[in-house]
């Protein structure tokens, strides 16, 4: 094993993990269960109009987009480590005319920094990489 001089933080995943998810961007939405699961997740939540929703590991944004449609102008924020997936999410939001949803690059440390309060946080489906535990 090669020694390392860097101490990784929770917000700086190994580049291989981010690269793996970025490489999936073109085919990520062909996994129809992701869209269906995200919509079912939002359908199961009691989200009043005006709530703010944080979608962690948003991928291409299915849950964040569904939540934004549900809560109205207060919208939702989706965060993910993979910029290529977030670009797809932004494209879908623009195509749907949704201006009340934002997408940000970030991980767990983004959630612990001072942010607006969120009524609900989602993270579905759990994402695992073959290179991370």
Domains of the chain: 15-122 (3.40.50.150)
- pLDDT per position as a tens digit, 14-36: 678 888 889 999 999 898 888 89
Whole-model pTM: value is 0.75
Q: Model confidence at 132, in pLDDT bands (50, 70, 90)?
A: very low
Tokens of residue 101, six digits: 């949803």
């Amino acid at each position: 094993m090669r020694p390392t001089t860097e101490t990784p933080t929770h917000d700086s995943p190994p580049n291989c993990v981010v690269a793996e998810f970025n490489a999936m961007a073109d085919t990520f939405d062909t996994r129809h269960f992701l869209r269906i699961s995200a919509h079912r997740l939002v359908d199961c939540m009691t989200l009043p109009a005006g709530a703010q929703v944080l979608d962690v590991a948003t991928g291409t944004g299915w849950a964040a987009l569904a939540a934004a449609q549900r809560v109205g102008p207060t919208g939702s924020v989706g965060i993910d480590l993979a910029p290529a997936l977030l670009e797809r999410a932004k494209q879908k939001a623009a195509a749907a005319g949704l201006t009340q949803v934002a997408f940000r690059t970030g991980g767990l440390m983004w959630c612990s920094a001072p942010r607006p309060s969120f009524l609900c946080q989602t993270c579905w489906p759990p994402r695992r990489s073959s290179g991370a535990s």
